[in-house]
Amino acid sequence: MEEAELKQQLLTLSRILYKEGFLDSFGHISVRIPGKDYYYITRGEPSGKGDFDARDLVRVDFKGNRLEGQGRPPVEAIIHTVLHRSREDAGCIVHVHPYYCILLTVAGIKFMPVTLQAATFGHTLPVYDVADLVITEEEGEAMARNMGKARAILLRGHGIVTLGATIEEAFYNTYHLEESARFLVDAHRLGPVTPLNDQEVQKRLNYIRSRPAGVNPFAKVWAYHEFKTR
Protein backbone atom coordinates (compact mmCIF):
# COMPACT_ATOMS: atom_id res chain seq x y z
CA MET A 1 0.00 0.00 0.00
CA GLU A 2 1.25 3.50 -0.82
CA GLU A 3 1.86 6.19 1.80
CA ALA A 4 -1.29 8.18 0.93
CA GLU A 5 -3.43 5.02 1.11
CA LEU A 6 -1.97 4.03 4.48
CA LYS A 7 -2.69 7.49 5.87
CA GLN A 8 -6.25 7.23 4.59
CA GLN A 9 -6.70 3.80 6.14
CA LEU A 10 -5.34 5.10 9.46
CA LEU A 11 -8.01 7.82 9.37
CA THR A 12 -10.64 5.14 8.76
CA LEU A 13 -9.27 3.23 11.76
CA SER A 14 -9.61 6.38 13.85
CA ARG A 15 -13.28 6.67 12.79
CA ILE A 16 -13.99 3.00 13.57
CA LEU A 17 -12.28 3.10 16.97
CA TYR A 18 -14.14 6.31 17.80
CA LYS A 19 -17.50 4.77 16.87
CA GLU A 20 -16.75 1.61 18.84
CA GLY A 21 -15.82 3.66 21.91
CA PHE A 22 -12.12 2.78 21.97
CA LEU A 23 -10.80 6.22 21.08
CA ASP A 24 -12.28 8.82 23.38
CA SER A 25 -10.68 11.85 24.98
CA PHE A 26 -7.46 9.85 25.12
CA GLY A 27 -5.73 7.23 22.96
CA HIS A 28 -3.81 7.35 19.69
CA ILE A 29 -2.93 5.24 16.66
CA SER A 30 -0.07 5.17 14.19
CA VAL A 31 1.09 3.57 10.94
CA ARG A 32 4.68 3.01 9.79
CA ILE A 33 5.51 3.65 6.15
CA PRO A 34 7.30 0.58 4.70
CA GLY A 35 10.92 1.28 3.73
CA LYS A 36 10.97 4.67 5.51
CA ASP A 37 12.22 5.65 8.94
CA TYR A 38 9.10 7.51 10.01
CA TYR A 39 5.49 6.94 10.95
CA TYR A 40 2.23 8.88 11.07
CA ILE A 41 0.29 9.33 14.31
CA THR A 42 -2.98 11.02 15.25
CA ARG A 43 -2.29 14.41 16.83
CA GLY A 44 -2.36 14.92 20.58
CA GLU A 45 -4.47 18.07 20.91
CA PRO A 46 -8.08 17.85 22.18
CA SER A 47 -10.24 16.65 19.29
CA GLY A 48 -13.35 14.70 18.28
CA LYS A 49 -11.30 11.90 16.68
CA GLY A 50 -14.24 10.66 14.64
CA ASP A 51 -13.74 13.20 11.86
CA PHE A 52 -9.98 13.36 11.50
CA ASP A 53 -8.53 14.15 8.09
CA ALA A 54 -4.93 14.13 6.80
CA ARG A 55 -4.21 17.45 8.55
CA ASP A 56 -4.73 15.71 11.90
CA LEU A 57 -1.80 13.35 11.33
CA VAL A 58 1.72 14.15 12.47
CA ARG A 59 4.80 12.61 10.83
CA VAL A 60 7.38 11.47 13.40
CA ASP A 61 10.85 9.91 12.96
CA PHE A 62 12.30 6.97 14.91
CA LYS A 63 13.92 9.34 17.39
CA GLY A 64 10.54 10.86 18.23
CA ASN A 65 11.06 14.14 16.34
CA ARG A 66 8.10 15.74 14.59
CA LEU A 67 8.91 16.02 10.88
CA GLU A 68 5.65 17.37 9.54
CA GLY A 69 2.13 18.29 10.62
CA GLN A 70 0.26 21.13 12.27
CA GLY A 71 -0.42 19.29 15.50
CA ARG A 72 1.93 17.87 18.08
CA PRO A 73 2.50 14.16 18.77
CA PRO A 74 0.57 12.78 21.78
CA VAL A 75 2.37 12.88 25.12
CA GLU A 76 2.80 9.08 25.00
CA ALA A 77 4.11 8.98 21.41
CA ILE A 78 7.23 7.18 22.71
CA ILE A 79 5.13 3.97 22.79
CA HIS A 80 4.86 4.19 19.00
CA THR A 81 8.42 5.42 18.41
CA VAL A 82 10.00 2.54 20.33
CA LEU A 83 7.80 -0.18 18.80
CA HIS A 84 8.02 1.11 15.20
CA ARG A 85 11.81 1.13 15.32
CA SER A 86 12.19 -2.21 17.13
CA ARG A 87 9.40 -4.44 15.85
CA GLU A 88 9.44 -5.46 12.18
CA ASP A 89 5.91 -6.82 12.58
CA ALA A 90 4.53 -3.52 13.91
CA GLY A 91 3.01 -1.85 10.85
CA CYS A 92 0.26 -0.27 12.91
CA ILE A 93 0.12 0.46 16.65
CA VAL A 94 -2.91 1.26 18.81
CA HIS A 95 -2.84 2.66 22.35
CA VAL A 96 -6.27 2.89 24.02
CA HIS A 97 -7.86 2.45 27.46
CA PRO A 98 -10.66 -0.15 27.21
CA TYR A 99 -12.72 -0.89 30.32
CA TYR A 100 -12.53 -4.71 30.54
CA CYS A 101 -8.82 -4.90 29.71
CA ILE A 102 -8.08 -2.47 32.54
CA LEU A 103 -10.43 -4.41 34.81
CA LEU A 104 -8.38 -7.59 34.25
CA THR A 105 -5.25 -5.86 35.49
CA VAL A 106 -6.83 -4.32 38.59
CA ALA A 107 -8.76 -7.48 39.55
CA GLY A 108 -5.62 -9.61 39.25
CA ILE A 109 -7.14 -11.85 36.56
CA LYS A 110 -4.45 -13.44 34.40
CA PHE A 111 -5.22 -13.31 30.68
CA MET A 112 -6.08 -16.68 29.13
CA PRO A 113 -7.81 -17.47 25.84
CA VAL A 114 -11.41 -18.58 26.42
CA THR A 115 -12.68 -18.02 22.85
CA LEU A 116 -11.36 -18.66 19.34
CA GLN A 117 -10.77 -14.93 18.83
CA ALA A 118 -8.81 -14.74 22.07
CA ALA A 119 -6.55 -17.60 20.94
CA THR A 120 -5.00 -15.12 18.48
CA PHE A 121 -2.99 -13.81 21.43
CA GLY A 122 -1.69 -17.25 22.43
CA HIS A 123 -1.80 -18.59 25.97
CA THR A 124 -1.07 -15.45 27.90
CA LEU A 125 -0.28 -11.77 27.58
CA PRO A 126 2.41 -9.63 29.19
CA VAL A 127 1.48 -6.96 31.73
CA TYR A 128 3.37 -3.69 32.18
CA ASP A 129 3.11 -3.39 35.93
CA VAL A 130 3.49 0.39 36.24
CA ALA A 131 0.28 2.41 36.63
CA ASP A 132 1.56 5.57 35.00
CA LEU A 133 1.80 7.25 31.61
CA VAL A 134 4.56 6.03 29.30
CA ILE A 135 6.36 9.24 28.40
CA THR A 136 10.14 8.97 28.59
CA GLU A 137 12.53 6.97 26.41
CA GLU A 138 13.33 4.74 29.43
CA GLU A 139 9.65 4.07 30.10
CA GLY A 140 9.01 3.29 26.44
CA GLU A 141 11.96 0.88 26.29
CA ALA A 142 10.87 -0.81 29.53
CA MET A 143 7.35 -1.31 28.19
CA ALA A 144 8.67 -2.70 24.88
CA ARG A 145 10.99 -5.11 26.73
CA ASN A 146 8.01 -6.30 28.76
CA MET A 147 5.99 -6.78 25.59
CA GLY A 148 8.65 -8.91 23.88
CA LYS A 149 7.19 -10.44 20.71
CA ALA A 150 3.56 -10.34 21.89
CA ARG A 151 0.80 -8.82 19.78
CA ALA A 152 -0.49 -6.87 22.75
CA ILE A 153 0.38 -5.81 26.27
CA LEU A 154 -1.87 -4.87 29.19
CA LEU A 155 -0.82 -1.73 31.08
CA ARG A 156 -1.92 -2.08 34.71
CA GLY A 157 -4.59 0.43 35.70
CA HIS A 158 -4.07 2.26 32.41
CA GLY A 159 -4.88 0.55 29.10
CA ILE A 160 -3.44 -1.57 26.32
CA VAL A 161 -1.02 -1.42 23.42
CA THR A 162 -1.82 -3.61 20.44
CA LEU A 163 -0.15 -3.93 17.07
CA GLY A 164 -0.47 -5.63 13.74
CA ALA A 165 1.47 -6.02 10.52
CA THR A 166 -1.44 -4.24 8.86
CA ILE A 167 -3.98 -1.67 10.04
CA GLU A 168 -6.71 -4.31 9.68
CA GLU A 169 -4.81 -6.70 11.94
CA ALA A 170 -4.16 -4.01 14.57
CA PHE A 171 -7.88 -3.28 14.67
CA TYR A 172 -8.73 -6.98 14.94
CA ASN A 173 -6.31 -7.33 17.87
CA THR A 174 -7.66 -4.25 19.63
CA TYR A 175 -11.32 -5.13 19.20
CA HIS A 176 -10.92 -8.78 20.12
CA LEU A 177 -8.61 -8.15 23.07
CA GLU A 178 -11.33 -6.10 24.74
CA GLU A 179 -13.97 -8.69 23.78
CA SER A 180 -11.74 -11.46 25.18
CA ALA A 181 -11.25 -9.52 28.42
CA ARG A 182 -15.01 -9.12 28.72
CA PHE A 183 -15.62 -12.86 28.26
CA LEU A 184 -12.95 -13.60 30.80
CA VAL A 185 -14.25 -11.17 33.44
CA ASP A 186 -17.82 -12.46 33.06
CA ALA A 187 -16.68 -16.11 33.05
CA HIS A 188 -14.87 -15.49 36.35
CA ARG A 189 -18.12 -14.13 37.81
CA LEU A 190 -20.01 -17.26 36.76
CA GLY A 191 -17.64 -19.94 38.03
CA PRO A 192 -14.59 -21.96 37.01
CA VAL A 193 -13.07 -20.82 33.72
CA THR A 194 -12.07 -23.23 30.95
CA PRO A 195 -9.39 -21.81 28.63
CA LEU A 196 -8.62 -23.27 25.21
CA ASN A 197 -5.99 -26.02 25.43
CA ASP A 198 -2.60 -26.02 23.65
CA GLN A 199 -3.90 -27.91 20.64
CA GLU A 200 -6.91 -25.61 20.21
CA VAL A 201 -4.77 -22.46 20.45
CA GLN A 202 -2.26 -23.82 17.92
CA LYS A 203 -5.00 -24.84 15.52
CA ARG A 204 -6.50 -21.36 15.66
CA LEU A 205 -3.11 -19.69 15.06
CA ASN A 206 -2.42 -22.01 12.12
CA TYR A 207 -5.84 -21.26 10.64
CA ILE A 208 -5.37 -17.48 10.84
CA ARG A 209 -1.86 -17.67 9.31
CA SER A 210 -3.05 -19.87 6.45
CA ARG A 211 -5.85 -17.57 5.27
CA PRO A 212 -5.18 -15.36 2.23
CA ALA A 213 -4.93 -11.59 2.92
CA GLY A 214 -8.25 -10.56 1.36
CA VAL A 215 -10.41 -13.09 3.22
CA ASN A 216 -8.57 -13.61 6.51
CA PRO A 217 -10.35 -12.84 9.80
CA PHE A 218 -8.62 -9.43 9.95
CA ALA A 219 -10.15 -8.38 6.62
CA LYS A 220 -13.59 -9.69 7.62
CA VAL A 221 -13.69 -7.89 10.96
CA TRP A 222 -12.43 -4.71 9.29
CA ALA A 223 -15.04 -4.82 6.51
CA TYR A 224 -17.89 -5.35 8.98
CA HIS A 225 -16.89 -2.47 11.28
CA GLU A 226 -15.96 -0.13 8.46
CA PHE A 227 -19.48 -0.58 7.04
CA LYS A 228 -21.01 0.13 10.46
CA THR A 229 -19.37 3.56 10.55
CA ARG A 230 -21.00 4.73 7.30
- List residues binding Zn ion (CB under 5 A): 159
Helix then strand then coil, % of the chain, to nearest 5: 45, 15, 40
Contact predicate 95/28, CB 8 Å: yes
Cβ closer to Zn ion: 159 or 195? Answer: 159
Please check whether residue 160 is in contact with residue 23, taking contact to mean a CB–CB distance below 8 angstroms: no
**Looking at beta carbons only, is 159 or 217 nearer to Zn ion?**
159
Distance of alpha carbon 157 from the chain centroid: 17
Nearer to Zn ion, 131 or 213 (CB): 131
Q: Which is nearer to Zn ion, 32 or 95 (CB)?
A: 95
Question: ∠148-152-155 over CA atoms, to 5°?
Answer: 95
Closest CB 96 distance from Zn ion, rounded Å: 8
Could you tell me the smallest distance in angstroms from the CB atom of residue 156 to Zn ion? 12
Minimum CB–partner distance for residue 102 and Zn ion (Å): 10
Q: How far is the CB of 97 from Zn ion (least distance, A)?
A: 6
Shortest Cβ 28–Zn ion spacing (Å): 8
Other residues' Cβ atoms within 10 Å of the Cβ of residue 226: 17
> How many angstroms separate the CA atoms of 167 and 7, rounded?
10
Q: Of the two residues 137 and 186, which places its CB atom closer to Zn ion in the complex?
A: 137
Q: Which residue is nearest to Zn ion (CB)?
A: 159
Contact 202, 143 (CB under 8 A): no
